[in-house]
Amino acid sequence: MPILEHTGGVEVVRSEKLVAGSSFTELVAGGAAIVLPILGLVGVLPMSLAAIAFIAIGAAMMISGGTLGTQAHTLLANATTGESSGADFVGGANAQILGGAAVIALGILSLLRIAPFSLLPVAAIVAGGAMILSAGTAARLGSFRYGAAEISPHQRELLRESVRAAAGADVLVGLGSVVLGILVLAGVGSPATLLTLVLVAALALGAGLFLSGTTTGARMTALLSH
């Protein structure tokens, strides 16, 4: 595992501010992906709002993946290279970027009423899978970052625990979304039931993004205050 020699440089501070900005985007997109499915569940344009919710989810995933890759590059550029390399973090960032792009495309096609009952559950599966794949990468990168931060051991351990908890929540949300998507593709229930399952998947993903944005923003605030 590489050891950071110094993390107080301007480039690293900019990276942390970039993460803070990304967390705000996750908050906004997650909030939208919570409100829109709820409106759909109460009968307000459910198909259209589900598609828009997945577009918001995909956009947040792409931004988060780009930030994850940039942050990994910045931190590793200030590290003494050991057994690990940037390749350890590429998979999770690419999963979010590519998964987010696919989810946006599927959401747009569904909004245009092109096979929405097939494409929306696929979007749920893709988003859930990308969230699962990127959770471990985000946790490793967080541990790497906080391990070198100039904070007390107690604060460092608390931050690491929060990263692991957020990663575990992402995995659970991702698994739930994948299962719901598979159930819809399998045609379990009436069309109304299938649409409800899609909306619940979007709601779960939105809640996961909102939680991730909240915890990341809190961690960045704690780091930047030191």
How far apart, in whole angstroms, are the C-alpha atoms of residue 37 and residue 113?
A: 17
Q: Which amino acid is at 88?
A: D
For residue 66, the model assigns a pLDDT of: 81
Tokens 């909004």 label which residue? 111
Domain ranges of the chain: 3-224
How far apart, in whole angstroms, are the C-alpha atoms of residue 78 and residue 94?
A: 22
| Secondary-structure percent of the chain, ordered helix, strand, coil, rounded to 5 | 85, 0, 15
pLDDT (tens digit, 9 = 90+) per residue, 34-77?
999 999 999 999 999 999 999 999 998 988 888 777 766 666 66
For residue 14, the model assigns a pLDDT of: 52
For residue 74, the model assigns a pLDDT of: 66
How far apart, in whole angstroms, are the C-alpha atoms of residue 30 and residue 204?
A: 9
For residue 8, the model assigns a pLDDT of: 45
For residue 95, the model assigns a pLDDT of: 86
For residue 56, the model assigns a pLDDT of: 94
For residue 78, the model assigns a pLDDT of: 57
Sign of the torsion formed by the C-alpha atoms of 128, 63, 222 and 88: positive
Low-confidence ranges of the chain (pLDDT < 50): 1-13, 80-84
How far apart, in whole angstroms, are the C-alpha atoms of residue 164 and residue 160?
A: 6
For residue 12, the model assigns a pLDDT of: 46
